[in-house]
Structure 1
Amino acid sequence: APAALGILFFFVYPLLTAVYFSFHQFSVLSTPVYVGMRNYSFALHDPNLQKAVENTLWLVVVMVPAQVLFGLGTGMLLVAMRRSASVYRTLFYLPALVPPVAGTLAFVYVFKPQIGPVDTILKTIGIDGPGWFTDPDWAKPSLTLLALWGIGNTMVIFLAALLDVPAALLEAASLDGANAWQRFRHVTLPTLSPVLVFTTITSIIYTLQYFTQAAVAAGAASGQVTAGGNSMSNNFGFPQGSTFTYPLWMYIQGFPDGHLGYANALAVLLFFASFAVIAIVLRRARSFHGESQ
């Protein structure tokens, strides 16, 4: 009963409230006025929303596999370590403990063109570093690197799962002549399949809601830490809208612009899009698991 009440209060009620207000037009100081499907119709022709969707889909396609693979690879590396393993585990996990705003500001400074530590190191070997967060072609890849820097939680999950792989199965496969890749493919990977599904889903949710790091990175890279104003031109999505994500546009509509009805409609669309993507992942995972049996 307490769990059901928690789900009802913290999930069902906010969702139904967002759906209700998505059919209205109002601001913080005005009374909601029913407008039917106008907010959803406007979303279909909103050029800023289209740009935000394109950027967010890019991040999902690139960032999610990168997070899962990097987390798995780091976990496997730590399992293979014999000496100072606990020290390296702590070092890999520490970035995950840093608050997102502070971590993003530090990361942007480290990759700051010309004067940042990374560019300084590259200069010593004769390489001119790119404009990591100031070049539109490099901004989204830089956000992906930022996400990988804080991969500690995913790494810990994979590390625990890897340590739980039955040693007897690995030893039996080795005695049967299986090499390292075959042991990973036929023993380790099937054991990790539930964890792979879980981390993929959580990474998708994280990326679809990618807001804080994108907003702070854009503000810091443009020379203004706190972005303000009511349009994308005021540092939101800097440079040239390349870091302009779906949650950023939803935030702009809800607060600086005061279009709370449209912001609720965007939130509802994001929820159902997330639900659809997760359903597809689960369906594919079940079919893959069935084929592997």
Structure 2
Amino acid sequence: MAEPRTASVPAYADSRTSRKTKFEKKLRLFGVLFALPWIAGLLLFHLYPLAASLYYSFTSYSILEPGQWVGLDNYRELLHDGTFRTSIYNTLYYTFLFVPLSIVFGVAIALVLNMKIRGQGVYRTLFFIPSLVPPVATTIIWLWLLNPQFGLVNYWLEQIGIPGPPWLGSEHWSKPSLILMSLWGIGQAIVIYLAGLQDVPQDYYDAAEVDGAGTLLRFRHITLPLITPVIFFNLIMGMIGALQNFALPYTLTNGKGTPANSMMFMVMYLYTNGFGYLKMGYASAMAWVLFLIVITLTAVLFATQRRWVFYQGKE
């Protein structure tokens, strides 16, 4: 019997494969070389400080001295630190009030700015400009507006027969005042909401109008569900930003958190201990507690987003 013939592979095919393999290796090498500066920056400015802060949180490190290993003493001390507990309360109070209000006002203003009116671009610019104002300038403006003696806000309230509160000078009104100031600078979120509104297909509105749906029904069943991904994004980013609130309260109180620590936030207290008292180990422990709070709240939001976030094209 004749032996079966085996198909011979042309020599040029092997050479093409080897050339292709060499070319792919060069591409990988060039890719790594181009990404090397970014990788070095990630390791040097992100991962190393992250690992170092975790280590320092278990030590008495104070910049001037290397410190000693103290284990969980910093975390135990935090449990008995009244100012730290107050800072947690202030931070959560601010977050749970400011973030929902920023969503409500942001969506409402975006709906108004999405209307086809004359001077639309001017109005959009006016609402976006406050987000570009530096925190120090914002502080100076609002200190004047909320001054209990000659501020414009109390003046307008008196004109309609309402006695103006002491605002930033009161323990009970200081955080609401800060929330009011922060709502003034939600221009970036408004732009994102506006982009989400313009991404809603017009066909849905036309079909709903033919069916006799009014403005409120169209907003409830079309607009609101289709912009929930944008709301979810701003909710996550707003919550993380609110938990790290620092610039406005620090500038308003010069880092003291007055009156009666009602403006002492977690990042402010962390900064005071780390750079004011040089208690870097203690401040690192605070940073990790804040990190755990941020991670926990973010995980809760991601766990619940399937119930109320609707993406186009997905059932």
TM over 0.5: same fold?
Answer: yes
Count of aligned pairs = 278
TM-score (norm 1): 0.89
Gap regions ≥5 residues in structure 1: 220-225, 228-235
- What CA distance in whole angstroms lies between the structure 1 residues aligned with 2:307 and 2:114? 30
- Deviation digits for residues 183-221 of structure 1 (CA, Å, limit 9, x no counterpart): 11221122112111110011101110011101112x2xx
Are the counterparts in 2 of residues 15 and 268 from structure 1 also a CA contact under 8 Å? Answer: no
Counterpart for residue 280 of structure 1: 300
Selected match of 1:67 from 78, 84, 102: 102
Structure number, greater radius of gyration: 2
Gap regions ≥5 residues in structure 2: 1-31
Selected match of 1:265 from 285, 288, 293: 285
Question: Is 1:255 matched with 2:290?
Answer: no
Are the counterparts in 2 of residues 105 and 216 from structure 1 also a CA contact under 8 Å? Answer: no
- How far does residue 136 in structure 1 lie from its aligned partner after superposition? 1.2
For residues 117-156 of structure 1, the aligned pairs below 5 Å read 117-156=152-191
> How large is the Cα RMSD of the aligned pairs?
1.9
- How far does residue 290 in structure 1 lie from its aligned partner after superposition? 7.6
Are the counterparts in 1 of residues 228 and 310 from structure 2 also a CA contact under 8 Å? Answer: no
Are the counterparts in 2 of residues 24 and 261 from structure 1 also a CA contact under 8 Å? Answer: yes
Which letter maps to 2:227? L
Are the counterparts in 1 of residues 157 and 163 from structure 2 also a CA contact under 8 Å? Answer: yes
- How far does residue 11 in structure 1 lie from its aligned partner after superposition? 3.3
For residues 162-201 of structure 1, the aligned pairs below 5 Å read 162-201=197-236
- Deviation digits for residues 158-179 of structure 1 (CA, Å, limit 9, x no counterpart): 0111111111111111111222
Counterpart for residue 19 of structure 1: 54
- What CA distance in whole angstroms lies between the structure 2 residues aligned with 1:76 and 1:32? 56
- What CA distance in whole angstroms lies between the structure 2 residues aligned with 1:209 and 1:59? 11
Which letter maps to 2:288? V
Identity of matched residues, %: 38
- Deviation digits for residues 55-87 of structure 1 (CA, Å, limit 9, x no counterpart): 111111101101111111110110125121111
- What CA distance in whole angstroms lies between the structure 2 residues aligned with 1:166 and 1:9? 45
TM-score (norm 2): 0.83
- What CA distance in whole angstroms lies between the structure 1 residues aligned with 2:49 and 2:134? 26
- How far does residue 121 in structure 1 lie from its aligned partner after superposition? 2.4
Query: Which 10-residue stretch deviates more, 258-267 or 116-125?
Result: 116-125
Distance change (3 Å), C-alpha of 1:168 and 1:10: farther
Are the counterparts in 1 of residues 205 and 222 from structure 2 also a CA contact under 8 Å? Answer: yes
- How far does residue 116 in structure 1 lie from its aligned partner after superposition? 1.1
Question: Is 1:83 matched with 2:103?
Answer: no
Counterpart for residue 223 of structure 1: none
Are the counterparts in 1 of residues 228 and 308 from structure 2 also a CA contact under 8 Å? Answer: no
